[in-house]
Amino acid sequence: MDMNLRKLLPGVCLQVILSFFCQTVLAETSPGSLQKPATLQSPALANAVNNQMPKVSEKTRVVFLNPATRSDFWWNTCTSFMQAAANDLGVELKVYYADRSAALMLQQADEALAGAVKPHFIVMQNLKKTAPQIIERAEKSNVKALLFNSGLDDEESRVYGAPREKFANWIGQILPDDAGAGYNLAKIIVNAAKEKKLSDTDGKVEMLALGGTISDSSAIERNKGLTRFLQEHKADVVLNRGQSLPGNWESAKAASVFEAAYHDFPKTAVVWNANDNMAMGVLGKAKEKYSKSPGKDLIVGGIDWNPENLQAVRQGEITATLGGHFMEGAWVIVLLNDYAKGVDFQTEGVSLKSELGAISKANIDKFERALGDRSFEKIDKIDFSKFSKASNPALKAYKFNLDAILSQLK
């Protein structure tokens, strides 16, 4: 080796070491409350962090971070759909219950990701802005993450991007088409009001709208759908108070807000509610305080398919309830099972939307016969393997909707 080169090597090595040390210290001490996550830019780097998928003889392991309690009806139904699909597809499912606590959900995520036998997938909603942290932790733990039911808000999306954009192990999300539901609910109840000739003297249908918690992405999206409908129907619909009012998802709150608003706008013909709880609050107050006959002189609709709302649909007091997004529990398992078997749902997109179906007088009987109380016994009659592309190579597109379910349960 050249003598001059030998003399230079120690200095060069020292410079490299010092440069690396300084960059590391600067990276760790950089100020800022919301750090921009590392971007996985090259396919080689993305492949390096990819989690090992289950072997042929091994079951796919999925952890579901349920944000609610075991007694929560809606989330219990969602979990039942998830478990029934897992049974059909041979997936090992473990469920944690966070009781609406962000701190507990993060603790449960850490427990699942630090286990001796890690899951192949971790599934969650964005409960109180916990999803970004869980996505980061799953990335570090080499576990695939899938977001469903409630997504990132606009600020979080600017920082964390979309699935597979900045985090290789955040492989996708499936979210309810809340904007579509908000739009369709408005369309249904306004059309019902027109059929009953409930327009005011100017020929316009007057509406009151009650929204959910303003920070929740589902509330935001449902309001967007409502706004789009109103913009398209300025000539024949007017929104009293000019905006959706804060019902906060709660029946009692909605009843109170409706009472005050209806007093000021007694010609209101339709009440749009971002969920079923609020629709029931409005229903009760309209009858008790204002002696209205919902379904006849006041049109009320909601979202969620709650049992009491379905009963009100049967009785003709609630015109429609949109829902079925608890079935996303099953669609999550189908997507992850296919992914584990080498059939990537990316062909249809990494950010999927699930349709919310409308239940009205026209189809309430069929729905009740098929699913009724949504007991696990009824849900388990559905063969979810029929929705899997891995199990059905001829299947070209996923068919995740109410009609596809009801067709199996005639």
Gap between the Cα atoms of 393 and 388, Å rounded: 8
Helix and strand numbers, DSSP H then E, in the chain: 15, 13
Gap between the Cα atoms of 300 and 277, Å rounded: 12
From residue 220, alpha-carbon distances to 75, 129, 178 in Å are 20, 15, 9
Higher pLDDT, 2 or 366: 366
Residue type, 334: V
Residue (of 326, 327, 330) closest to 82 by Cα position: 330
pLDDT of residue 392: 97
> In the prediction, which pLDDT does 154 show?
87
SS3 211: strand
Q: Which range is least confidently modeled, 38-47, 179-188, 252-261? A: 38-47
The number of residues in the chain equals: 410
- The whole-number average pLDDT for the span 308-324 is 96
Q: Which residue has the tokens 């429609």?
A: 320
Q: How many CB atoms lie within 10 A of CB 360?
A: 17
Distance of CA 353 to the CA centre of its chain: 9
Which pLDDT belongs to residue 133?
Answer: 98
Q: What is the pLDDT of residue 123?
A: 98
Mean predicted confidence (pLDDT) in 40-52: 42
CATH class of 179-323: alpha beta
What is the rounded CA–CA span in Å between residue 112 and residue 110?
A: 5
pLDDT at 150 over 80: yes
What is the C-alpha separation between 382 and 394, in angstroms, rounded?
A: 20
Please name the residue that has the structure tokens 């929104």: 239
12 has pLDDT over 50: no
- DSSP one-letter code for 118: -
Q: What percent of the chain has pLDDT over 70?
A: 87
pLDDT at 49 over 80: no
- Averaged pLDDT of the chain: 88
- Burial level of 259, CB count in 10 A (0-12/13-18/19+)? middle
Q: Choose among 346, 402, 2, 372: nearest CA to 170.
A: 346
Reference 300, options 263, 260, 268, 252; nearest CA is 268
pTM of the model: 0.75
SS3 210: strand
Average pLDDT over residues 218-237: 96
The CA distance from 14 to 8, in Å, is 10
Which has the closest alpha carbon to 288: 277, 280, 299?
A: 280
Asked if residue 244 has pLDDT above 70, the reply is yes
Q: Which two tokens stand for residue 405?
A: 């379910």
182: which 2 tokens?
């908000």
CATH 3.40.50.2300 positions along the chain are 49-176+325-406, 179-323
Q: Could you tell me whether strands 320-323 and 357-359 are parallel, antiparallel, or unpaired per DSSP bridges?
A: antiparallel
Q: Which CATH architecture has domain 49-176+325-406?
A: 3-Layer(aba) Sandwich (3.40)
Contacts for 222 with CB less than 8 Å, ≥ 6 apart: 178, 179, 181, 182, 185, 211, 212, 274, 303
Measured from the Cβ of residue 5, the count of other Cβ atoms closer than 10 Å reads 9
